C-alpha cells in the first residue's frame, strides 16, 4: 500500500455474514455527493445532510428501485475518523443487501478500500499516530477483555505522547552534544559528562518501565497455548472434549486415533487459551503418525503450559516420566485421568507427586475435577502476571523491539562516556536511539513496516 492514499474509498465496515445491522463506510471528497445521489429521505423537510445527524430514508439503485431502508450520517472532515468527509450508511445486515448498496456506491466514482485504508488515512491526515493506529487493530483482534483494555489505553494516544516526550528529551541532548562538538573548548561547560550520563540513565529507566509489562501481559494480549501430551489412550481427546463441553475430538479405544494435533480455543474467565490435543506418545513405524508425534513435541516446546495426561488405571513407570517435561520446567501439570476406575499400584498420582509434579486427579469421562483443572490451568498461565491493569501502558511486539533497540543504544552510550569516547561519536548513538523511537510513532517508519501494519487490518477499518 502506498504512503499516499487518494480518491474516495468505500467498504463494508461490519463483519462478513448475516446480522441485524450492517454499515457501509465511504471516505473522500465525493462521499457526500455519492450519498446525495443514492439516498431517498423519508421526510419532506429534509434539506441536505446535517453533520453528525442520523437521517432516515432508503437507498435506491440507478433505476430508482429501493434496495433497503437505512440510517445515513455525514461526518465532515477534518473532524471525522479519517480526517476526510465521511458517510456511514446503516443498512439491514444481510450480505445481499450490503453488497447491493456497496455496488451502488462504487458505481458512482468511489473505489473499494484496501485493508486498513480508512485507518491509514487517519494516520496520514494526522488524526492519530502509529501507536494509535496499531491500537485500533489490537482492539479489533483482542482475544480477551483485558487485552481490549490494554489496547484502549494506547488508542487514547498516551503511549505516543510518552514516546514523543522521550524523543524530545534525547533530541535536546543531541543538540547540546552538537554544540559541544562545534565548540570543543567549551564542551565541559555546555554539556558536563556527569549531567549527560544522568539524563541518559533517566531515559533508559523510563524505557525499561515501559518494557516491564510486555512479557507479563503476553497471555492477555495474545492468548496462551496449552498442550495435551501423554501416552496413547491416556484420555487426551476425552479431556479436550470435557474442557470444551462438547465432542470435538474423536474418542476410541484404538491406539493412535489422534495422528495430527487438534486445536480449539477455551475462554477461562476472560483468558483465551488455545488447547492442542496431540498424538499419543508411543514407538511407531508409521511415518504419518511419527510426523504427528514430532509436531506434538514441537508444540509442547512452544507451549505456555503442558498437561501431561496419565492413565491412572494403568501401571506407571519411569519411562513415562522420561517422555514428559520435567517438573523443573515450571510449565507442566500432571493430570491423572480415569480416577473413577480402580487405580494401579503404585498409584500414578503418588509417583508423580514424589517426582515433583503438580498433580490433579480427574475423570474426563465422568466430568470429575474438570472445573478444578480449568482453574489450575488459568492460575498457572497467569502465575506472576495476575489480572491486567486497565491503565497500564504495554507496547506491542513491534513497539517493544524498537524500545529495546533504543535502550541498547543508550546503555552503550553510557559505556562510551565512561571510556571517554569523543563527543562526535557519542552523537551517533543518540541518533540511533531517537530514530528507533521515531519508528514507534510513525515519524520515520519505513514503508514496508507501514505496509505490514495496515495490511493486517480488516477491510472497512
With 90 as the cut, is the pLDDT of residue 457 above it?
A: no
Q: Which of 41-45, 168-172, 429-433, 453-457 has the lowest mean pLDDT?
A: 453-457
Question: What per-residue confidence (pLDDT) applies to 180?
Answer: 65
Confidence category of residue 321, pLDDT binned at 50, 70, 90:
low
Question: What per-residue confidence (pLDDT) applies to 276?
Answer: 87
With 70 as the cut, is the pLDDT of residue 190 above it?
A: no
Rounded Cα gap, residues 131 and 213, in angstroms: 16
- Residues contacting residue 75 through CB under 8 Å, at least 6 positions apart: 51, 52, 81, 85, 86, 87, 88
Question: What per-residue confidence (pLDDT) applies to 102?
Answer: 96
Rounded Cα gap, residues 382 and 375, in angstroms: 11
Domain range annotation of the chain = 9-129, 140-216+393-441, 226-297+306-323+332-367
C-alpha triplet 199, 203, 209: angle, nearest 5°: 145
With 60 as the cut, is the pLDDT of residue 249 above it?
A: no
CATH match for 140-216+393-441 among 1.20.120.430, 2.30.40.10, 1.10.357.10, 1.10.10.10:
1.20.120.430
CA 314 to chain centre: 42
Rounded Cα gap, residues 414 and 406, in angstroms: 13
Question: What per-residue confidence (pLDDT) applies to 318?
Answer: 61
Cell of 180: 559541544
With 80 as the cut, is the pLDDT of residue 446 above it?
A: no
Confidence category of residue 250, pLDDT binned at 50, 70, 90:
very low
Residues in a beta bridge with 368: 363
Average pLDDT, the chain: 84
User: Helix or strand or coil: residue 448?
Assistant: helix
The residue that leads in pLDDT, 77 or 179, is 77
Q: Which of 229-238, 272-281, 290-299 has the lowest mean pLDDT?
A: 290-299
Question: What per-residue confidence (pLDDT) applies to 294?
Answer: 56
Question: What per-residue confidence (pLDDT) applies to 296?
Answer: 60
pLDDT digits (tens, 9 = 90+) for 110-151: 999 998 999 999 999 999 999 999 999 898 888 888 888 889
Q: What does the H/E/C string look like for 127-169?
A: CCCHHHHHHHHHHHCCCCHHHHHHHHHHHCCHHHHHHHHHHHH
Confidence category of residue 185, pLDDT binned at 50, 70, 90:
low
Sign of the C-alpha dihedral, residues 427, 431, 432, 437?
Answer: positive
Residues in a beta bridge with 11: 25
With 50 as the cut, is the pLDDT of residue 310 above it?
A: yes
Question: What per-residue confidence (pLDDT) applies to 325?
Answer: 67
With 90 as the cut, is the pLDDT of residue 12 above it?
A: yes
Q: Give the fold, CATH level 3, of 226-297+306-323+332-367.
A: Rossmann fold (3.40.50)
Confidence category of residue 50, pLDDT binned at 50, 70, 90:
very high
Question: What per-residue confidence (pLDDT) applies to 247?
Answer: 59
CA 117 to chain centre: 19
Q: Compute the CA torsion angle 378, 383, 384, 386 (nearest 10 deg).
A: 20
Q: What is the mean pLDDT of residues 180-184?
A: 61
Rounded Cα gap, residues 235 and 226, in angstroms: 16
pLDDT digits (tens, 9 = 90+) for 256-280: 444 456 788 888 888 889 888 876 5
With 60 as the cut, is the pLDDT of residue 410 above it?
A: yes
Residues in a beta bridge with 51: 74
Query: What radius of gyration do the chain's Cα atoms show?
Result: 29
With 60 as the cut, is the pLDDT of residue 291 above it?
A: no
Cell 496413547, residue located? 232
With 50 as the cut, is the pLDDT of residue 429 above it?
A: yes
Cell of 58: 432508503
Residue whose C-alpha is closest to residue 198's, from 178, 159, 169, 167: 169
With 50 as the cut, is the pLDDT of residue 252 above it?
A: no
Rounded Cα gap, residues 80 and 76, in angstroms: 6
DSSP state of 281: B
Number of Cβ atoms within 10 Å of the Cβ of 227: 28
- Residues contacting residue 110 through CB under 8 Å, at least 6 positions apart: 7, 8, 9, 10, 26, 28, 30, 31, 34
Cell of 43: 421526510
Distances in Å between the Cα of 5 and the Cα atoms of 1, 2, 122 are 9, 7, 10
The residue that leads in pLDDT, 316 or 113, is 113
Rounded Cα gap, residues 424 and 177, in angstroms: 8
Q: Give the fold, CATH level 3, of 9-129.
A: Gyrase A; domain 2 (3.30.1360)
Sign of the C-alpha dihedral, residues 139, 141, 146, 147?
Answer: negative
Rounded Cα gap, residues 245 and 367, in angstroms: 10
Confidence category of residue 38, pLDDT binned at 50, 70, 90:
very high
With 80 as the cut, is the pLDDT of residue 393 above it?
A: yes
Question: What per-residue confidence (pLDDT) applies to 3?
Answer: 54
Number of Cβ atoms within 10 Å of the Cβ of 328: 7
Confidence category of residue 417, pLDDT binned at 50, 70, 90:
confident
Amino acid at each position: 500500500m502506498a504512503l499516499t492514499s487518494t480518491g474516495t474509498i468505500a467498504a463494508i465496515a461490519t463483519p462478513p455474514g448475516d446480522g441485524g445491522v450492517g454499515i457501509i463506510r465511504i471516505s473522500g471528497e465525493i462521499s457526500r455527493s455519492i450519498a446525495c445521489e443514492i439516498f431517498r429521505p423519508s421526510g419532506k423537510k429534509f434539506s441536505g445532510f446535517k453533520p453528525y445527524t442520523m437521517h432516515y430514508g432508503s437507498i435506491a439503485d440507478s433505476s430508482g428501485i429501493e434496495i433497503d431502508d437505512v440510517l445515513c450520517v455525514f461526518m465532515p472532515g477534518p473532524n471525522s475518523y479519517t480526517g476526510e468527509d465521511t458517510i456511514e450508511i446503516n443498512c439491514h445486515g444481510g450480505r445481499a443487501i450490503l453488497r447491493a448498496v456497496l455496488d451502488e456506491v462504487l458505481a458512482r466514482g468511489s473505489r473499494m478500500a484496501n485493508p486498513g485504508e480508512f485507518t491509514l488515512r487517519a494516520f496520514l491526515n494526522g488524526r492519530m499516530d502509529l501507536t494509535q493506529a496499531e491500537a485500533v487493530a489490537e482492539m479489533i483482534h483482542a482475544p480477551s477483555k483485558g487485552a481490549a483494555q490494554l489496547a484502549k489505553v494506547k488508542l487514547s494516544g498516551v503511549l505516543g505522547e510518552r514516546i514523543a516526550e522521550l524523543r524530545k528529551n534525547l533530541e535536546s541532548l543531541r543538540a547540546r552534544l552538537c554544540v559541544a562538538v562545534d565548540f570543543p573548548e567549551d564542551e565541559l561547560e555546555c554539556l558536563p559528562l556527569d549531567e549527560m550520563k544522568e539524563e541518559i540513565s533517566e531515559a533508559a529507566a523510563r524505557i525499561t518501565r515501559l518494557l516491564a509489562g510486555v512479557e507479563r501481559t503476553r497471555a492477555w494480549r495474545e492468548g496462551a497455548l496449552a498442550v495435551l501430551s501423554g501416552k496413547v489412550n491416556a484420555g487426551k481427546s476425552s479431556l479436550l472434549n470435557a474442557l470444551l463441553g462438547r465432542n470435538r475430538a474423536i474418542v476410541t479405544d484404538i491406539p493412535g486415533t489422534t495422528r495430527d494435533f487438534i486445536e480449539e480455543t477455551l475462554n477461562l474467565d476472560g483468558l483465551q487459551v488455545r488447547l492442542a490435543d496431540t498424538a499419543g506418545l508411543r514407538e511407531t513405524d508409521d511415518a504419518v503418525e511419527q510426523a504427528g508425534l514430532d509436531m506434538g513435541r514441537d508444540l509442547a516446546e512452544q507451549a505456555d503450559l503442558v498437561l501431561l495426561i496419565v492413565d491412572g488405571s494403568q501401571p506407571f513407570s519411569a519411562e513415562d516420566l522420561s517422555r514428559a517435561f520435567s517438573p523443573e520446567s515450571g510449565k507442566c501439570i500432571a493430570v491423572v485421568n480415569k480416577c473413577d476406575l480402580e487405580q494401579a499400584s503404585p498409584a500414578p498420582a503418588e509417583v508423580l507427586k514424589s517426582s515433583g509434579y503438580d498433580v490433579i486427579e480427574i475423570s474426563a469421562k465422568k466430568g470429575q475435577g474438570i472445573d478444578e483443572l480449568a482453574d489450575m490451568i488459568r492460575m498457572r498461565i497467569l502465575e506472576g502476571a495476575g489480572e491486567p491493569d486497565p491503565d497500564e501502558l504495554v507496547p506491542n511486539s513491534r513497539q517493544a523491539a524498537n524500545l529495546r533497540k533504543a535502550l541498547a543504544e543508550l546503555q552503550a552510550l553510557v559505556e562510551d562516556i565512561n571510556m571517554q569516547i569523543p563527543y562526535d561519536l557519542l552523537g551517533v548513538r543518540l541518533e540511533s536511539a531517537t530514530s528507533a523511537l521515531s519508528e514507534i510513532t510513525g515519524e520515520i517508519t519505513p514503508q514496508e513496516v507501514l505496509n505490514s501494519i495496515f495490511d493486517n487490518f480488516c477491510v472497512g477499518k
